[in-house]
Structure 1
Amino acid sequence: MTGAAGGLGVATASYFAQKGWNVIATMVSIEEANIFRDVPNIKCYELNVTSSESIEKAKRSILNNHKSIDVIINNAGIGYRSFVELSDDSKIDSIVDINWLGVVKVCRAFIPHFRSQNKGQFINISSIAGLVNLPLGSFYHSTKQAVESFSECMAYELMDFNISVCTVQFGNAPTNFQKNVTKCEASSIASYNAMMYKITDILNKKTRKNHDLTNCIVEKLYKVAENPSTKFRKYTIGFDANFMKYLRRFLGYRAFNFVIRKKVLKK
């Protein structure tokens, strides 16, 4: 699992370990491994998903210590909430490198191992952002929709090798993710400032209400890992994500856009 040092990653690694799995937890800095120091069946490795060299180094170490890998959960991710006009190159590069290219590079690195053992499963963590488009999501949503498209395309390639691919979408879980989202600075543009405040407030309120969502996600990930689908699947977890998915599907993009403008932005 990538991004195992915080939030959903910690919860998922711990749950799988409690269920008797041998968990390979990867993180940007091995110093973060202390969180698992008392869990004997969680082994930690340093892996930076933005670096092909780091991925290959971690892969060599992992395969030296583990003959077989059943599941890879691509969980590493960050948020960036910004208006396009006010966006920063370095922040755009970071979110693309971690949220999308990180998934691509990790999958690319471990496909040969899955092929050689004629089994394996990629669970790529997406988001409701991968299914619908919402205000101030230009960058985060783009990366998550890229993960959705990439995963579906890759699934076709791996059909002959007993390698399962799926994506998992959910809303705002009560982890530290929202607190760590990078936002553009306030500007002299009143409309932008008002929209940023409104969207941030809505997301924070949603996160506080979803107090059971993390457990639901972790339990679903475990069920998916235990029972890999032979076909590409998209698993949507939680009321918010399912509601938005079906609303978008039922209304179509024009009516959905109208609802978001009227109900969320009051425009």
Structure 2
Amino acid sequence: MTGASSGLGKEIAIHFSKKGWSVIATMICIKAAEVFEGIPNIKCYELNVTCSESIEKAKNAILNDYNSIDVIVNNAGVGYRSFVELSEDAKIDAIVDVNWLGVVKVCRAFIPHFRQQMNGQFINITSIAGLVNLPLGSFYHPTKQAVESFSECMAYELLNFNISVSTVQFGNAPSNFQKNISKCEKSSIESYNEMMKSIDGIMNRKTCDNHDLSKSILDKLYKIAANPSKGFKKHAIGFDANLMKNLRRFLGYRLFDRLIRRYVLSQ
């Protein structure tokens, strides 16, 4: 699993460990492995999802220690909340490299192993952002929707090798993700400042309200991993993700747009 050193990734690793699974926890800095000290069944490796050389090095080390791998969970991700006008090249590049291309590169590296053993499963974690478009999501949302499209396309290629692909979407789980999101600086454009304040408030409230979401995510991920589906499947977890998915599907773009303008941008 990628991005395992903190937040939800850490919780996923520990949850699978408690279920008796051998967990391969990867992280950008191996010093962070100390968070798993004393926890059985977890072995840590350094892996930077933005670097093909790092992925290949980690893969070789992992396959030297394990005869086979059953599931890969692409969990690593970062956030960037900015207005298009105020966005920065370096932060745009970073979120694309981690959230989308990181998934692509990890999948690409491990497909040969899955193909040779004629078995395997990719679980790619996206977000509500992979289902709908919301204010100030101009950079985060496209990366998550790219993972959704990529995963579905890739699944067709892997059907003949008994390799399944799943995507998982959920809302703001109680973690430090919102606190760690990169944001543009406050500007002289007052409407921008007001919108940022409104969206920040909504996201923080949802994170606090969703105190039971982490357990639902952990239980669902374990169920997906233990019972791989054929081909490709999407999994929406929690009230927020299912509500947004159904509203967007049944209301259509125009009514959904009106709903967001009224109940989100008017906050």
- Tell me if both proteins adopt one fold, taking TM over 0.5 as the criterion: yes
**1:254 and 2:254 correspond:** yes
**1:148 and 2:148 correspond:** yes
* 2:139 aligned partner, one-letter code: F
* 1:230 aligned partner, one-letter code: K
Q: SS of the counterpart of 2:234?
A: strand
Q: What's 1:14 paired with?
A: 14
CA apart distance, 1:40 = 2.6
Q: What's 1:92 paired with?
A: 92
**1:83 and 2:92 correspond:** no
Q: What's 2:27 paired with?
A: 27
> CA deviation digits over 1:238-263, x for unaligned, max 9?
00110011000010011101110111
Q: SS of the counterpart of 2:136?
A: coil
* 1:30 aligned partner, one-letter code: I
> CA deviation digits over 1:16-42, x for unaligned, max 9?
000000000000000000011112310
Aligned counterparts of 2:220 and 2:266: Cα–Cα separation in 1: 35
CA apart distance, 1:266 = 2.3
Aligned counterparts of 2:99 and 2:185: Cα–Cα separation in 1: 22
Q: SS of the counterpart of 1:14?
A: helix
**1:179 and 2:198 correspond:** no
Q: What's 1:51 paired with?
A: 51
**1:117 and 2:117 correspond:** yes
Gaps of 5+ in 2: none
- Paired positions, count: 267
RMSD: 0.8
Percentage of pairs with the same residue: 72
Q: What's 2:104 paired with?
A: 104
Aligned counterparts of 1:4 and 1:266: Cα–Cα separation in 2: 37
Instruction: Give the TM-score normalised by structure 1.
Output: 0.99
Aligned counterparts of 2:266 and 2:32: Cα–Cα separation in 1: 43
Q: SS of the counterpart of 1:158?
A: helix
* 2:16 aligned partner, one-letter code: F
Q: What's 2:3 paired with?
A: 3
Superposed, which structure 2 residues align to 1:121-136 within 5 Å?
A: 121-136=121-136
* 2:62 aligned partner, one-letter code: I
CA apart distance, 1:203 = 0.5
Structure 1 residue ranges (4+ consecutive) displaced by more than 3 angstroms after TM superposition: none
CA apart distance, 1:94 = 0.4
> CA deviation digits over 1:28-84, x for unaligned, max 9?
000000011112310000000000000000000000000000000000000000000
Aligned counterparts of 2:6 and 2:102: Cα–Cα separation in 1: 17
Report if aligned partners of 2:156, 2:231 keep a CA contact under 8 Å in 1.
Answer: no
Q: What's 1:197 paired with?
A: 197
Q: What's 2:167 paired with?
A: 167
Aligned counterparts of 1:30 and 1:226: Cα–Cα separation in 2: 28
Aligned counterparts of 1:71 and 1:2: Cα–Cα separation in 2: 12
Aligned counterparts of 1:177 and 1:83: Cα–Cα separation in 2: 19
Aligned counterparts of 2:148 and 2:254: Cα–Cα separation in 1: 22
Report if aligned partners of 2:163, 2:231 keep a CA contact under 8 Å in 1.
Answer: no
* 1:7 aligned partner, one-letter code: G
Aligned counterparts of 1:178 and 1:263: Cα–Cα separation in 2: 21
